[in-house]
């Protein structure tokens, strides 16, 4: 049982960290700079920890930039206020995501103007159905070997869909439940104390207020775990945080 719990929580938090640190704060918002080599390390690690549900960074970045510009309007790719449940919201998001990747539905030029990390070979390999299925098979094998009984297999769908599930929790809850510090003209909310379990991502109200600020916590009782780790990486010079004042 311990092996399963360790596996589940490691997968949850590692996947979430790279989702927040690389896909959100780098690919979408460029809150820090880093060397090309470190960028590659973060890219590969994001793919490895997301595995079967790898979110291709350029598609994620574009979609997330749309989310900021169109927050909680009809053009927002995933506002909870235009769908009857999380499932329909996720489905809609997946259709847009696939449209970008296949080139059938290209994004507006304004969303690709800023830097987007692209690694064609890895994107194609990671997005390939056989690669995704192999990760799924590996998670299942781990459960077959370590799960004390069949009930634990109920956790497997979360492993299969880790990236989109974490995205959906943030997009749904972060624009629906909680309190606001700022009036952003949308429905973005801060859902403390759950924000802590989501590594800062649930401080959507703060983040929409200052989208280029790497620190999503704004009040003394708010804590952004991802930013805390980023400050450590900044201190050892792996990344260079961009001060908000110097941004456009």
Shortest spacing between CB 201 and Zn ion, in angstroms: 9
Q: Which stretch binds Zn ion (CB under 5 A): 40-48, 93-101, 143-151, 199-207?
A: 199-207
Contacts with Zn ion: how many residues (CB under 5 A)? 1
204: contact with Zn ion by CB under 5 A: yes
Residue 16 C-beta: closest distance to Zn ion, Å: 15
Cβ closest to Zn ion, residue 190 vs residue 204: 204
Separation of alpha carbons 187 and 31, rounded Å: 23
10 Å CB burial of residue 67 (0-12, 13-18, 19+) is buried
Annotate 24-85 with DSSP letters as a single string: IIIIIT--EEE-HHHHHHHHHHHHHHHGGG---HHHHHHHHHHHHHTTTSTT-TT-GGGSSS
Cβ nearer to Zn ion, comparing 34 with 204: 204
CB closer to Zn ion out of 31 and 162: 31
Q: Give CA–CA dist 52/92, Å, rounded.
A: 19
- 33 φ/ψ angles, rounded to the nearest 5 degrees: -110, 160
**CB of residue 20 to Zn ion, shortest distance in Å:** 10
User: Rounded CA gap, 175 and 86, in Å?
Assistant: 12
State the minimum distance, in angstroms, from the CB of residue 104 to Zn ion: 25
Q: Is 52 in the site for Zn ion (CB under 5 A)?
A: no
Closest CB to Zn ion among 147 and 222?
222
Q: Which stretch binds Zn ion (CB under 5 A): 94-102, 136-144, 204-212, 237-245?
A: 204-212
Binding site for Zn ion (CB under 5 A): 204
């Amino acid at each position: 049982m311990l092996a399963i719990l360790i596996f589940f929580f490691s997968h949850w938090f590692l996947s979430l960290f790279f989702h927040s640190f690389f896909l959100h704060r780098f690919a979408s918002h460029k809150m820090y700079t880093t060397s090309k080599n470190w960028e590659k390390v973060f890219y590969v690690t994001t793919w490895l920890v997301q595995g079967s549900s790898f979110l291709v960074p350029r598609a994620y970045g574009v979609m997330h930039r749309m989310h900021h510009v169109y927050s909680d309007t009809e053009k927002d790719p995933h506002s909870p206020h235009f769908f009857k449940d999380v499932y329909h919201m996720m489905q809609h998001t997946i259709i847009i995501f696939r449209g970008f990747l296949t080139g059938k539905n290209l994004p507006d030029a304004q969303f690709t103007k800023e830097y987007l990390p692209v690694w064609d070979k890895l994107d194609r390999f990671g997005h390939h159905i056989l690669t995704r299925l192999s990760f799924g098979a590996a998670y299942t094998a781990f459960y077959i070997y370590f799960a004390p009984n069949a009930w634990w297999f109920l956790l497997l769908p979360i492993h299969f869909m880790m990236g989109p599930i974490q995205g959906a929790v943030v997009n749904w809850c972060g624009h629906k439940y909680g309190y606001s510090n700022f009036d952003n003209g949308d429905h973005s909310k801060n859902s403390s104390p759950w924000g802590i379990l989501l590594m800062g991502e649930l401080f959507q109200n703060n983040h929409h207020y200052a989208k280029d600020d790497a620190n999503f916590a704004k009040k003394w009782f708010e804590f952004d775990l991802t930013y805390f780790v980023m400050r450590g990486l900044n201190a050892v010079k792996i990344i260079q945080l961009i001060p908000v004042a110097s941004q456009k």
